[in-house]
């Protein structure tokens, strides 16, 4: 009996996954499919998996091509599995060409042509459009915000506003984003407004951003007077 193994996240299960599993199964008699855990995906830089592990496993099962589904949760597991399950063929899509050649010491390695124009990344982008963050203020806190924002999936720091245009330009150059000269252009380019300007300016910026129907994230204090806080809450609601 010829045993085949393949691995993947199989997030938002799509035609490319189906084709891959079908051809993997056709390579032998018994197909084992390894589905990655969220934690393992995160450790290799995939931070935005949408479907739960259970759902991804269920979708693989439903194709009817997998004789066995296992969970992949640590680096080095492929080598262990290939030996443990007496695998004859390891296979994955052609986007991985060369990456798993080290398994040739244990079994045949086959890279199958990837299905064109479809991927989980594409589907995730369609389902959850990237939220553009506009930053007001260019001081110490805004500087700390930038490297952290870069680690959050689904958002993109897009542009910056500071009435002192020279500060905005310097900040924009440093972080590779756009500097907006006027606030209307700034609101057009933002879905979320992050406010890190001097305290006394928070109220007016929050109000304006809400009036432009933007999500607002503001550094503390939100504003300086109780009535302002009540007004802003009502406006946000």
- Site map for ligand CTP, 85-104, x if CB under 6 A? -------xx-xx--------
Q: Which is nearer to ligand CTP, 109 or 218 (CB)?
A: 109
Report which DSSP code applies to 208.
Answer: H
Residues 108-147 that bind ligand CTP (CB under 6 A): 114-115, 118-121
- State whether residue 211 is helix, strand or coil: helix
Distance CA 224, CA 26 (A): 68
Residue among 69, 88, 67 at smallest CA distance from 4: 88
Q: Which is nearer to ligand CTP, 19 or 208 (CB)?
A: 19
Distance CA 45, CA 29 (A): 33
* Stretch (H or E) spanning 192: strand 192-195
Q: Does 34 sit near ligand CTP (CB under 6 A)? A: no
Q: Does 17 sit near ligand CTP (CB under 6 A)? A: yes
Q: What residues contact residue 97 under an 8 Å CB cut-off, 6+ apart?
A: 111
Q: Does 42 sit near ligand CTP (CB under 6 A)? A: no
Q: Does 50 sit near ligand CTP (CB under 6 A)? A: no
Q: Does 16 sit near ligand CTP (CB under 6 A)? A: yes
Residues that bind ligand CTP (CB under 6 A): 8-11, 16-17, 20, 92-93, 95-96, 114-115, 118-121
């Amino acid at each position: 009996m010829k045993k085949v193994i393949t691995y993947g996240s199989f997030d938002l299960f799509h035609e490319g996954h189906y084709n891959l599993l079908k051809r993997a199964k056709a390579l032998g008699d018994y197909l084992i499919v390894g589905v990655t855990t969220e934690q393992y995906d995160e450790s290799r830089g995939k931070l935005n998996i949408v479907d739960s592990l259970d759902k991804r496993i269920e979708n693989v099962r439903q194709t009817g091509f997998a004789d066995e589904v296992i969970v992949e949760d640590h680096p080095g597991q492929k080598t262990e599995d290939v030996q443990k399950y007496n695998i004859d063929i390891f296979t994955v899509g052609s986007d991985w060409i060369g990456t798993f050649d080290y398994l040739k010491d244990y079994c045949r390695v086959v890279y199958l042509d990837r299905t064109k124009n479809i991927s989980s990344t594409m589907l995730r982008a369609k389902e959850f459009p990237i939220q553009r963050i506009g930053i007001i203020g260019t001081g110490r806190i805004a500087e700390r915000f930038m490297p952290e924002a870069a680690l959050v999936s689904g958002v993109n720091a897009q542009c910056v506003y500071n009435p002192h245009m020279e500060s905005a330009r310097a900040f924009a150059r440093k972080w590779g984003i756009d500097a907006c000269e006027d606030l209307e252009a700034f609101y057009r380019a933002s879905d979320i407004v992050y406010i890190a300007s001097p305290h006394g300016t928070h109220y007016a910026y929050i109000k304006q951003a809400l009036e432009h129907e933007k999500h607002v994230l503001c550094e503390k204090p939100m504003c300086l007077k109780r009535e302002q806080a009540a007004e802003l809450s009502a406006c946000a609601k």
